[in-house]
Amino acid sequence: MKRALTWMLAAMSFAVLGACGGGTDGGDSSGSVARGTIGFSAMTLKNPFFKIIADTMTAEAERHGFEVVVTDAERDVNRQSQQVDNFLASGVAAIVLNPVDRIAIGPAVRRANEAGVPVFTSDLQAVAEGVEIAGHVGTDNYQGGLLAGEAMIEALGEAGGDVLVLHFKQANSCVLRVDGFRHAIGEYNRDRTEGRIEIVAELEGGGLRDEGYRAMADGIQAYPDLAGVFAINDPSALGARTALEQAGRADQVRIVGFDGEIAGRQAIREGKIYADPIQYPDRMGIMTVQNIVRYLDGEDFERVHLIPTELYRQADAERDPTLD
């Protein structure tokens, strides 16, 4: 029976090793790439937005003779900084991050600086002290927030009303969006006594469908007179829509989202979301790779490039060829 035990051990080892070995085959082909490897640590690949960045980066890098290794930080800065260390150990040409925590990622970026490997950020910026970021490409989130405010004013019309914000405070990009949104609403309310728009609360929607749903369900109870909701991204906007439909309030409360990912645009076409300031993750991915190539070629480029958003309404969705 001792032998049975040993067999089991062997089987177990091989199961584990087999799993490792199977995975490594794909990674090994990286050695033959002409100009080197780019390491990318995405914020979370569960959100299609970051998946688009990863995919467009991979395609664009291939055109320039680079290979991209995509890793998922799963919103954990510890995991992200480990990924940076692993990139450094395997000798990448450049590192791209969507910083999970704009401050706590600092030490990891510093280690990359010390190793002479350039770090680029996309979408979210890092603000830790004493770190060098070679280049950043992101959305002009404040401008996007202003557009979201305009969309809300347009949606509510002269009547105005109470508005709820579904926030995700952990991400500075979302803080900027809400700042822009508040500014636009504040400008509208100035010198106005009738038809004002009041932001009654900011609830934490987590930027996710389920959390957005729960927050909205609570919001409906707490603020029965809601006329509008601004959700800082599409997943939480769609979660809010579900909650409103269940409460039978979907016709009275207008939703403004953010992102313009495919599910969001679909919802705009069906009239479930009023409008989105849309971002361009594909351009972000492409420009980031182009910046890396320019960096390695010794050319000058814009260190911080913010892509403006554009407002996307039902009429745009009806003309959108990417929706079927």
Binding site for another protein (CB under 8 A): 1-6, 8-9, 12-13, 15-17, 19-21, 23-24, 26-28, 30-31, 35-36, 69-72, 74, 76-79, 81-83, 85-86, 88-91, 93, 101-104, 106-107, 114-116, 118, 128, 134, 169-170, 175, 202, 295-300
Nearer to another protein, 168 or 312 (CB): 168
Cβ atoms 98, 121 nearer than 8 A: yes
Q: How far is the CB of 92 from another protein (least distance, A)?
A: 10
Q: Give the pairing type, strands 310-313 and 275-278.
A: antiparallel
Choice between 2 and 319, CB closer to another protein: 2
> Considering Cα of 132, then 138, then 141, then 143, what sign does the dihedral take?
positive
At its nearest, how many Å lie between another protein and the CB of residue 312? 28
User: Do residues 144 and 173 lie in contact, with contact meaning Cβ atoms separated by under 8 Å?
Assistant: no
Q: Which is nearer to another protein, 170 or 189 (CB)?
A: 170
Supply the minimum distance, in Å, between the C-beta of residue 196 and another protein: 21
Quote the CA–CA distance of 158 and 5 in Å, as a whole number: 78
CB of 233 to another protein, least distance (A): 16
Q: Which residues pair with 96 in a beta bridge?
A: 40, 120
- List of residues 6+ apart from 226 with CB closer than 8 A: 161, 162, 163, 164, 200, 219, 220, 249, 252, 253
- How far lies 140's CA from each of 52, 124, 144, 173, in Å? 18, 10, 6, 9
Please report how close the Cβ of residue 224 comes to another protein at its closest, in angstroms: 23
- Backbone φ and ψ for 323, nearest 5 degrees, come out as -95, 140
Pick the closer one to another protein by CB: 42 or 267: 42
The CB-of-159 to another protein minimum distance in angstroms stands at: 28
Nearest to another protein of 70, 95 (CB atom): 70
The smaller minimum CB distance to another protein, of residues 16 and 323, is found at 16
